[in-house]
Structure 1
Amino acid sequence: MTASTLPPRTDDEIRTAVIQELAWSPGTGSGPIDVAVSSGAVTLSGQVDSYPERLRAGSAAQRVRGVLGVAQEITVRGSWDAVTDTEIARESGLALRRSVDVPDAVKVAVHDRVVTLSGAVAWQYQRQAATYAVQYLPGVASVSNLIEVRPEIEPAGIGPAIRAALVRRAEVEAAHVDVDVEGGVVTLTGTVLTWAERRAVEDACWSGPGVAVVENKLRITG
Structure 2
Amino acid sequence: MTQIQHRPDHQLKTAVTDELAWTPSVNAEEIGVAVTDGVATLSGHVGTYPEKEEALRAAIRVHGVTTTADKILVRHGENVPEDADLAREAMIVFDRRTVVVPKDSVQVEVRDQVVTLRGSVDWQYQREAARSAVASLPGVSGVRNLITLKASTTVPPADIKLKITAALARHAPGFAQHVEVGIDDGRVTLTGEVLTPAERRSAEQTAWFAPGVTSVDNQVKLSG
CA contact (8 A) 1:11 1:39 kept: yes
With over 3 angstroms needed to count, the CA separation of the structure-2 counterparts of 1:171 and 1:19, relative to structure 1, is farther
Q: How does 1:200-211 map to 2 (within 5 A)?
A: 200-211=202-213
- The TM-score normalised by the length of structure 1 is 0.92
Task: Tell me what 1:168 maps to.
Answer: 170
Identify the range of structure 1 (153-162 vs 118-127) with the bigger mean alpha-carbon deviation.
153-162
- 2: CA distance between counterparts of 1:6 and 1:208? 29
Q: Over residues 153-206 of structure 1, what are the superposed CA-to-partner deviations in whole Å (9 max), with x where a residue is unaligned?
A: 433211121111001114862122111112211100112233322222111111
- 1: CA distance between counterparts of 2:108 and 2:174? 35
Gaps of 5+ in 1: none
SS at match of 1:205: helix
Question: Percent identity at matched positions?
Answer: 47
Letter in 2 for 1:135: A
- 2: CA distance between counterparts of 1:6 and 1:192? 9
Letter in 1 for 2:93: A
- 2: CA distance between counterparts of 1:31 and 1:90? 34
Task: Tell me what 1:146 maps to.
Answer: 146
* Residues 1:61 and 2:63 aligned together: no
SS at match of 1:79: coil
Task: Tell me what 2:92 maps to.
Answer: 94
CA contact (8 A) 1:158 1:208 kept: yes
* Residues 1:11 and 2:12 aligned together: no
RMSD over aligned CA atoms reads 1.8
Q: Over residues 134-154 of structure 1, what are the superposed CA-to-partner deviations in whole Å (9 max), with x where a residue is unaligned?
A: 110000000000000013443
Q: Over residues 94-152 of structure 1, what are the superposed CA-to-partner deviations in whole Å (9 max), with x where a residue is unaligned?
A: 11121121122110010000000001111111111100111100000000000000134
* Runs of 4+ displaced beyond 4 Å: none
Q: Over residues 66-104 of structure 1, what are the superposed CA-to-partner deviations in whole Å (9 max), with x where a residue is unaligned?
A: 111100110101325531111111101111121121122
- 1: CA distance between counterparts of 2:128 and 2:96? 15
- 1: CA distance between counterparts of 2:184 and 2:152? 16
Task: Tell me what 1:47 maps to.
Answer: 45
Task: Tell me what 1:108 maps to.
Answer: 108
- 1: CA distance between counterparts of 2:78 and 2:100? 28
With over 3 angstroms needed to count, the CA separation of the structure-2 counterparts of 1:46 and 1:154, relative to structure 1, is same
With over 3 angstroms needed to count, the CA separation of the structure-2 counterparts of 1:31 and 1:143, relative to structure 1, is farther
CA contact (8 A) 1:30 1:48 kept: no
Task: Tell me what 1:180 maps to.
Answer: 182
SS at match of 2:77: helix
With over 3 angstroms needed to count, the CA separation of the structure-2 counterparts of 1:137 and 1:28, relative to structure 1, is same
> In the comparison of the two structures, how many residue pairs are matched?
219
- The TM-score normalised by the length of structure 2 is 0.91
CA contact (8 A) 1:117 1:145 kept: yes
With over 3 angstroms needed to count, the CA separation of the structure-2 counterparts of 1:80 and 1:52, relative to structure 1, is farther
CA contact (8 A) 1:166 1:204 kept: yes
Task: Tell me what 1:122 maps to.
Answer: 122
Letter in 2 for 1:160: L
Identify the range of structure 1 (98-107 vs 10-19) with the bigger mean alpha-carbon deviation.
98-107
Q: How does 1:18-37 map to 2 (within 5 A)?
A: 18-29=16-27, 31-37=29-35
